[in-house]
Structure 1
Amino acid sequence: MAQLSETYACVPSTERGRGILISGDPKSNSILYCNGRSVIIRYLDRPLQVAVYGEHAYQATVARYSPNAEWIASADVSGTVRIWGTHNDFVLKNEFKVLSGRIDDLQWSPDGMRIVASGEAKGKSFVRAFMWDSGSNVGEFDGHSRRVLSCAFKPTRPFRIVTCGEDFLVNFYEGPPFKFKQSHRDHSNFVNCVRFSTDGSKFITVSSDKKGILYDAKTGEKIGELSSEDGHKGSIYAVSWSPDGKQVLTVSADKTAKIWEISEDGNGTVKKTLTCPGSGGVEDMLVGCLWQNDYLVTVSLGGTISLFSASDPDKAPLSLSGHMKNITSLVVLQSNPKVILSSSYDGLIVKWIQGIGYSGRLDRKVNTQIKCFAAVGEEIVSSGFDNTIWRSSLLGDEYGDAESVDIGSQPKDLSLALQSPELALVSIDSGVVILRGTKVISTIDLGFAVTACAISPDGSEAIVGGQDGKLHIFSVKGDTLTEEAVLEKHRGAITVIRYSPDVSMFASGDVNREAVVWDRVSREVKLKNMLYHTARINCLAWCPNSSMVATGSLDTCVIIYEIDKPASSRITIKGAHLGGVYGLAFTDECSVVSSGEDACLRLWKVTPQ
């Protein structure tokens, strides 16, 4: 069997020029955010404990706990709200089509009976409030002419709803049933976020005009502003109240977060400016925030979550980061503790430590997308979509100076000779390139469409897989390849080939969902009928003692086979990654790490049967 032991979470999806509205449950110190179709539940005091809800059919945008934290309402770009249980396997309570376009914000009423949602729409209904159990409307929300970016429910009776958006307006509604009461145009740009204080006495709006304005929660009248002295120099994207309602936290495109003291009369003065770690680039703009118990949470455009202490804001923050996009490959460095390197489609390489989690992003001087990725010892080799192979050393957390070579064609696959890693085999459309360091030794046209390749650890043998499903075995001498055998068993294009660590076997996978383990000496099939996936095999990995092989597929599953047992006695991890599994590696004899389109990594403990 296989048991999930650690999850290295993805970061929130962000978009330049837009805030993101994250939320949490103060009782459990968990926060909610969205990435792709997933809603991520993350515990601030237990970073490796992560739950993922993946039932939305479209990209998820915002999620909120109900007041009693038993339910979560999450919304997506299609205008759908799903209400599901926090515990017991996320049982679905209800699903409602609320708006005709993307939902940007939603809030529960304090009694947990109603939900208000706002966002984009065709026509005039940019806001809707409904009963959580029946979906029936509880009011009319006129008064906006453009996308409504944020909405808030007054946490005490009498109930009020406030909305704000791209028409620069702040609208105030009384109810239920809710009716338009008044509108304010105190901002001169998009109003990005509105939030009520915890005691229900005030609410605050923040805007791209760099201002924050406070209003009386009962009457809706303006009572004060955040001081411009030492204020933000860029758009303010989000705001969050302290639990006692006396302070607020704001984040801005100026890359800072500020804690404001709010006086009784409703004016705010800066108490502390927080600067998040980073290089000062565009990705360090701050787009989301949350004040939860003693945690001050900020989110940058690059997705980095910084955790400051509210009681000691001078203390350096803890940074949690990771991938935002599909993780295409994984490498485990056999160090102690085990280091895992993952690379994603957008060119980001992240370093993780087993048992600890996030350990840093490797800052690459070259910002190209990564297609293939390999590492041995202290060296990383990667290729992009620009015909270039990059080699660089890994010095601690630093990505050393990179050397590159243009091989003249787009690399399809990349394999290093583990015993002499300067030797690399790269497959291209109709052949292979042999590299020594960053020097092209030879480019060989093999006369067939190449899809995958592997070179033996000692560099004496190469296996090349074709579009036709055949495996061609070559001996390697200097700069030439000599064909030794052709193996025919696959019925689809080869996607991956890997030698076992003891080099007595190799395994191959194809687009037609089959994997095969071969004996390297006799070239006979060693483990057959490995036909348990329902879609193409994207990746495979051997355990260090060569007793097990794992395959990952587009069907979201990881399957682990024991070499000396029939394929039918396999271990299957269903739904390992929403959208498909793209990376696999063993960290030790009984731990396998997987990655996928959901931008998360998961570490599984495997107990052979």
Structure 2
Amino acid sequence: MAKLLETFPCVPSTERGRGILIAGDPKSDSILYCNGRSVFIRSLRQPQDVQVYGEHGYAVTVARYSPNGEWIASADVSGTVRVWGTHNGFVLKNEFRVLAGRIDDLQWSLDGLRIVASGDGKGKSLVRAFAWDSGNTMGDFDGHSRRVLSCAFKPTRPFRIATCGEDFLVNFYDGPPFKFHSSHREHSNFVNCIRYSPDGTKFITVSSDKKGMIYDGKTGDKIGELDSADGHKGSIYAVSWSPDSKRVLTVSADKSAKVWEVSEDGTVGSVIKTLTFMESGGAEDMLVGCLWQNDHLITVSLGGTMSLYSADDMDKPPLLLSGHIKNVTSLAVLGTNQKTILSCSYDGLIVKWLQGVGYSCKLQMNDNMKIKRLAATESSILLSGFDNKVWRIPLTDDKFGAAEHVDIGHQPLDISIAVDSPGFTALVSFDSGIALLNGMSILNKIDLGFVVAASVISPDGREAIVGGQDGKLHIYSVSGDNSFKEEAVLEKHRGALTVIRYSPDLTMFASGDANREAVVWDRETKQVKLNNMLFHTARINCLAWSPNNKMVATGSIDTCVIVYEVDKPASSRMTVRNAHLGGVNAVAFVDECTVASSGEDASVRLWHIESQ
């Protein structure tokens, strides 16, 4: 049996020059955000408490709770809205094709019977209001000529809908059935976000022209604006009202969030607090999303980091929730007491996680370096990407050191470290051969005469196994002068090798291939110890041994993690289905009964494995 212990979730997908939408449910104090095809439900009281909805066929753009908190409506880039329950396995209530293109925002009516969605209609309707249960359209929304970035439903009767977009317009509709009432052009750039106050008396718009405008909630007339004296110096991407309708939170490309006091009559908004976000010092610190929920002020940076401030004590340092935005390509587990997990994603981000705690710290590689492989010891990390370089980063308690690199003249395929060798010798394979490294110096580099697909070096550095595209395993001894001598060739696989790993006690090794098969070998006799490990339905991407040498875990692009016990038939396996939407890229054992996995959904998960 396998049970999910912990999820280290990804952060919201962000896009430069665009605001993003996070929503929440004040009753359960949880928030919703989107990444890829998934919607993440995350508790603010327990940030490690995460649920994932992954039923959309396209990238999800926005998700919102219904007013009673029982339903969630989520929309994607295809123009589809799905309405599903928050309990009992996310039961689907309805699915509607609402717009012809991407949906950028949606809102529920106060009674939970209507939904309005806006976005890119690709020449057709840009805004649509519909019944949540039947999908019947409720009115006509004329007046916009370009993509509608945001919409708002008046939370009190009589109902009104306000919209804004790339045509610099703010449009106002009354109903239902809804019809055009008036249009305003006070902004001189994209109007990024529009929000009604909880009491319904006012609504506010913010724009890339660095201004915020306040309108009467019932008539749609402009009544005031945010004071520009202490205002933002960059585009304002998002705005959120306080629960008492007296203050608003705004975030901007100038890397700051501001809390404004809005006068009772709505004629002016004055800054009462500025919250500045500084993490990397670069463009990733721009703030693109925000939410005011109960006592929490939440801001989201372009790099995906969520900062949780207390509304009662804004001077208190925020709780930072960070993680990956892109797919996680590699994992490494360090430490014996406090288990440390290192994960790296395709976009060059390395994140350090602590078991039972979550996010610890992160390092963004420079020059937009893409990371494909990671290997680590207690003191350093080795990385390879899509150029010819192998990078080394020193590792101290809670910090990453300065990176240095060596050029091996070929694009690296696989990296492994001889953890018990002096100076941590590393084996790097490339398409036609292998290279032996120590520190940043190349000890030996040879061409093997066949197409290489995977490789590994033994912990003592005296043996290396290289797998070919032809499915053969070549075993080499490594002598004192760092030369390689071929000792044996093993044939069993019918597809290109994708991964090879030694058992911790060095008595066995395991290999996996692109033809979905894994094999456990006896190292001394070179005989197959466990075969018929053919239970994946697609290519095996990764493989790991348990510390006690009794179990082997494999991960595949079929989204499953399968754990085999070496002394039992392969048929008595334990399978974690749908471990990661889109496929599993890396697995590693944290201890004898805990497996860490990562994949295309940009998240890291820990599974408790019980022997059957």
TM-score normalised to structure 1 length: 0.99
Mapped pair 1:484 → 2:487: yes
Structure 1 residues 576-587: aligned runs within 5 Å:
576-587=579-590
Task: Tell me by how many angstroms 1:435 deviates.
Answer: 1.2
Contact conserved, 2:168 with 2:189, CA < 8 A, in 1? Answer: yes
Corresponding residue number in structure 2 for 1:187: 187
C-alpha separation in 2, matches of 1:176 and 1:298: 34
Corresponding residue number in structure 1 for 2:344: 343
Structure 1 residues 400-411: aligned runs within 5 Å:
400-411=401-412
Mapped pair 1:503 → 2:506: yes
C-alpha separation in 1, matches of 2:367 and 2:179: 55
* Structure 1 SS opposite 2:275: strand
Mapped pair 1:334 → 2:358: no
C-alpha separation in 2, matches of 1:364 and 1:168: 37
| Cα deviation digits, residues 337-388 of structure 1 (max 9, x gap) | 1110000001100000000000011254564111111001111111121100
* Structure 2 SS opposite 1:587: strand
| % same residue | 73
Query: Which of 502, 506, 523 is matched with 1:520 structurally?
Result: 523
Corresponding residue number in structure 2 for 1:538: 541
C-alpha separation in 2, matches of 1:103 and 1:365: 33
Structure 1 residues 156-175: aligned runs within 5 Å:
156-175=156-175
Contact conserved, 2:258 with 2:273, CA < 8 A, in 1? Answer: yes
Contact conserved, 1:117 with 1:151, CA < 8 A, in 2? Answer: yes
Task: Tell me by how many angstroms 1:401 deviates.
Answer: 2.3
C-alpha separation in 1, matches of 2:393 and 2:175: 63
Corresponding residue number in structure 1 for 2:361: 360
Contact conserved, 1:243 with 1:293, CA < 8 A, in 2? Answer: yes
| Cα deviation digits, residues 382-429 of structure 1 (max 9, x gap) | 112110011121122222122211000000001111102531111111
| Cα deviation digits, residues 138-191 of structure 1 (max 9, x gap) | 010000000000001000000000000000000000000000000000111000
Corresponding residue number in structure 2 for 1:9: 9
Task: Tell me by how many angstroms 1:571 deviates.
Answer: 0.5
Give the residue type in structure 1 aligned to 2:597: S
Task: Tell me by how many angstroms 1:44 deviates.
Answer: 1.1
Mapped pair 1:273 → 2:287: no
Task: Tell me by how many angstroms 1:479 deviates.
Answer: 2.6
Corresponding residue number in structure 1 for 2:144: 144
* Structure 2 SS opposite 1:189: coil
Corresponding residue number in structure 1 for 2:472: 470
Contact conserved, 2:514 with 2:540, CA < 8 A, in 1? Answer: yes
Task: Tell me by how many angstroms 1:335 deviates.
Answer: 3.8
CA RMSD of aligned residues (A): 0.9
Task: Tell me by how many angstroms 1:496 deviates.
Answer: 0.3
| Cα deviation digits, residues 501-559 of structure 1 (max 9, x gap) | 11110000001100101111111111111000000000011111111110000000000
Mapped pair 1:593 → 2:562: no
Give the residue type in structure 2 aligned to 1:468: D
Classify 1:71/1:339 alpha carbon distance in 2 versus 1 (closer, same or farther; 3 Å): same
Give the residue type in structure 2 aligned to 1:200: G
Corresponding residue number in structure 2 for 1:73: 73
C-alpha separation in 2, matches of 1:241 and 1:251: 12
* Structure 2 SS opposite 1:484: strand
Corresponding residue number in structure 2 for 1:392: 393
Contact conserved, 1:124 with 1:144, CA < 8 A, in 2? Answer: no
Corresponding residue number in structure 1 for 2:454: 452
Contact conserved, 1:124 with 1:142, CA < 8 A, in 2? Answer: no
- Which sits farther off after the overlay, 259-268 or 391-400? 391-400
C-alpha separation in 2, matches of 1:94 and 1:402: 51
Task: Tell me by how many angstroms 1:56 deviates.
Answer: 0.7
C-alpha separation in 1, matches of 2:601 and 2:264: 45
* Structure 1 SS opposite 2:89: helix
C-alpha separation in 2, matches of 1:38 and 1:68: 22
Corresponding residue number in structure 1 for 2:463: 461
Contact conserved, 1:128 with 1:141, CA < 8 A, in 2? Answer: yes
C-alpha separation in 1, matches of 2:46 and 2:5: 13
Corresponding residue number in structure 2 for 1:114: 114
Contact conserved, 2:100 with 2:124, CA < 8 A, in 1? Answer: no
Corresponding residue number in structure 1 for 2:304: 303
Structure 2: gaps spanning 5 or more residues? none
C-alpha separation in 1, matches of 2:145 and 2:541: 47
Give the residue type in structure 2 aligned to 1:228: S
Corresponding residue number in structure 2 for 1:423: 425
Task: Tell me by how many angstroms 1:441 deviates.
Answer: 1.5
C-alpha separation in 2, matches of 1:218 and 1:228: 25
Give the residue type in structure 2 aligned to 1:524: Q
Contact conserved, 2:193 with 2:239, CA < 8 A, in 1? Answer: yes
Contact conserved, 1:497 with 1:507, CA < 8 A, in 2? Answer: yes
Contact conserved, 2:66 with 2:72, CA < 8 A, in 1? Answer: yes
Corresponding residue number in structure 2 for 1:572: 575
* Structure 2 SS opposite 1:283: helix
C-alpha separation in 1, matches of 2:74 and 2:351: 28
C-alpha separation in 1, matches of 2:304 and 2:336: 28
* Structure 1 SS opposite 2:142: coil
Mapped pair 1:250 → 2:250: yes
Give the residue type in structure 2 aligned to 1:567: A
Mapped pair 1:197 → 2:200: no
Corresponding residue number in structure 2 for 1:606: 609
C-alpha separation in 2, matches of 1:601 and 1:376: 20
C-alpha separation in 1, matches of 2:296 and 2:433: 55
Corresponding residue number in structure 1 for 2:214: 214
Give the residue type in structure 2 aligned to 1:523: K
Structure 1: gaps spanning 5 or more residues? none
Task: Tell me by how many angstroms 1:14 deviates.
Answer: 0.4
| Cα deviation digits, residues 562-591 of structure 1 (max 9, x gap) | 111111111000000000000111111111
| Cα deviation digits, residues 292-331 of structure 1 (max 9, x gap) | 0000000000000000000000000000000000100000
- Which sits farther off after the overlay, 366-375 or 244-253? 366-375
Corresponding residue number in structure 1 for 2:29: 29
